[in-house]
Amino acid sequence: MLATWRQRVQRPLHAPLSIKILVVNALLVATGIASGLWAATATDASRSLPTMLAVVGIGLVLCLAINGLILRAALWPLAVLERTARAVQQGDLGIRVPDLVIGDPDTNRLAATLNQMLDSLEAQTRQTEANAVELRRLSHRVLSAQEEERQRVALELHDETGQALTSVLVGLRLLRAAPDLSQVQEQAEKLTEQTRQTLDNVRHLALGLYPQTLSDLGLIATVRWYVKEWSSTMPISASFRVTNTAQQVRLTPPLDLALYRVIQEALTNTVRHSGANTVQVQLDRQGQTMMARIEDDGLGFDPATIATNGQSGLGLVSMRERLALVRGQLTITSAPGRGTRLLARVHLDPHTETSPGPAAAP
């Protein structure tokens, strides 16, 4: 019973604001008219009561009508705010509160604040959508890179290792059918050389997937070995230099791998695109920053043109993405006819251990 009574009492309190104000004004007007009517009849009994009631009724209706119009105009800004909020609730983030010509200062400030909130929400939503698109693009790139790497490994195994092992099998059959010892020895030497080449190919394939020396000896020794091997098989002269400050620090595995892959990709780009005769690789440290410089004397290019055209054939995007994963940066300095210099920087942990170790040998 008490709960029902409370609901009946509270129900009028939840009526629209305009209705509440209109009811209160009507009560005030009715009270004033009733008081005036009572005073008039008390002082002048000759007046007809029905006539006075009719006049009072007409006045009350006109008063309420005018009051309703005034309230409607006064509360119009709140109705606009309500419609805007409802549209946002339904997913329309492009809607904004229009200029409130008859709005009071408080309502205008509320409208401006709401518009600012909607601007911020729309910008955040667009950024979230852009991030989602970028995430899908990066996921596609990762999957594509994985498939390309699998295809490369499969071709390496089929073309190099598979054919080499087939040659070894053929050689073993010939060895079994050799008529004398001299032919056996000759065939055995050929098989030994083929086996050695196969082992070298498998070793290079494994190092291309992940160089174990990164974990065992660190970045410097691995880059030194890679530059030497790369230079011996490419028509470009490559040199490697490391400063004393860089020799005295051992990076974390993620930083080691990021810089190594950037150097690897940069040298691959050099032989594919630069037309260079020489390329220099340098590792340096300045404060808490480890830097890898790769500089060639090739044809060069215009970095602004590459960025404008959205070209990523030079592998610059993959290098930037790899460095971004370890909070590093890539700087490109190049011009047509003036070669190219890449500078990869990663920030060291302040607590990074500094010790020469085996990787610091010059």
Question: Mapping DSSP to helix (H, G, I), strand (E, B) and coil, where does residue 75 land?
Answer: helix
What one-letter code names the amino acid at 268? T
Number of structural domains the chain divides into: 2
Domain assignment present for residue 164? The answer is no
Last residue of a domain, one of 49, 66, 89: 89
Show pLDDT as tens, one digit a residue, over the chain (362 residues).
566 666 665 565 555 656 666 666 776 666 666 666 666 665 555 556 676 667 667 767 777 777 777 777 777 777 888 888 888 888 888 888 887 776 667 777 888 888 888 888 888 888 888 888 877 877 777 667 766 777 777 777 766 777 777 777 777 777 666 677 677 677 777 777 778 777 777 777 776 677 778 888 888 999 998 899 888 888 888 999 998 777 777 888 889 989 998 998 888 888 887 788 899 999 999 888 999 999 998 888 877 766 555 445 457 878 888 888 888 999 988 888 888 899 999 998 765 555 444 444 33
Domain assignment present for residue 175? The answer is no
Question: Mapping DSSP to helix (H, G, I), strand (E, B) and coil, where does residue 165 land?
Answer: helix
CATH of the domain at 279: 3.30.565.10
Domain assignment present for residue 193? The answer is no
C-alpha span between 144 and 356 (Å, rounded): 39
Domain assignment present for residue 268? The answer is yes
Range of the domain at 38: 2-89
Question: Mapping DSSP to helix (H, G, I), strand (E, B) and coil, where does residue 39 land?
Answer: helix
C-alpha span between 343 and 8 (Å, rounded): 76
Contact (Cβ atoms closer than 8 angstroms) between residue 226 and residue 262: no
Domain assignment present for residue 256? The answer is yes
Within 13 Å, how many C-alpha atoms sit on residue 190's CB side? 17
Domain assignment present for residue 335? The answer is yes
Q: What is the structure's pLDDT at 350?
A: 65
Last residue of a domain, one of 89, 120, 147: 89
C-alpha span between 30 and 1 (Å, rounded): 33
C-alpha span between 298 and 248 (Å, rounded): 32
Q: What is the structure's pLDDT at 359?
A: 41
Domain assignment present for residue 263? The answer is yes
Q: What is the structure's pLDDT at 12?
A: 57
Q: What is the structure's pLDDT at 80?
A: 82
Last residue of a domain, one of 64, 89, 114: 89
Domain assignment present for residue 134? The answer is no
117: left (phi over 0), alpha (psi -120 to 50) or beta: alpha
